[in-house]
Amino acid sequence: MPMSDAKQRILLAVHAIGAGQVASYGEVARRAGLPGRARWVAKLLAQADDASLPWHRVIRSDGRIAFAEGSAEFAEQVQRLRAEGVPVRNGRVSQALLAKRPSLDALLWGHDAPLS
DNA sequence: TGCGTGACCCAGG
DNA sequence: ACCTGGGCCACGC
């Protein structure tokens, strides 16, 4: 497939992350049909000029912000996430918010079933 | 052509 | 929680 198609699919996948939600680079790649291309997602975000792209909702698979702590980008991302109600502690987002996709419970009930 | 470089990921120690 | 090794791949020099 032409790379421009893949690029568009990745950008679409990023746009598809709703406010208040987050997804890992790898997950975005998978949703775009390009498993294993997390690095490419990162590169695209770095180059994208689209101001409406919600790049701040993309984080590392372990929940950490990808930028170095102390960098302007790091601060910017934390600020944007918090502005959407996403809790960020010590440079990381709770893994619960990193669920690959809404669970069936969440779709049906608006939340996951409590742990038994 | 080769090699280093990433806003990465995953399994192991 | 931290480090390592291997995978991934477009890009620049």
- Token reading at A87: 């809790």
Q: The tokens of A18 are what?
A: 């709703």
Q: What is the pLDDT of residue A1?
A: 62
Helices (H), A63-113: 72-83, 104-109
Residue A61 Cβ < 7 Å to strand B: yes
Nucleic acid strand C: bases within 7 A of protein CB: 7-10
pTM: 0.86
Q: pLDDT means per 10 residues in chain A (116 residues)?
A: 82 96 96 96 95 97 95 97 96 81 51 44
| Strand B–CB A45 distance below 7 A | yes
Burial class (CB in 10 A: 0-12, 13-18, 19+), A93: buried
Q: How far is the CA of A67 from the C1' of B7 (A)?
A: 6
Closest CA to A45 of A37, A35, A55: A55
- Residue A59: in which H helix or E strand, if any? strand A58-59
Alpha helices, DSSP H only, in A3-87?
A: 3-15, 25-31, 38-47, 72-83
A14 touches strand B (CB under 7 A): no
Pairing of strands A58-59, A92-93: unpaired
Question: What is residue A102's predicted lDDT score, i.e. its pLDDT?
Answer: 53
A38 contact to strand B (CB, 7 A limit): yes
The pLDDT, as a whole number, for residue A109 is 52
Residue A37 beta carbon within 7 A of nucleic strand C: yes
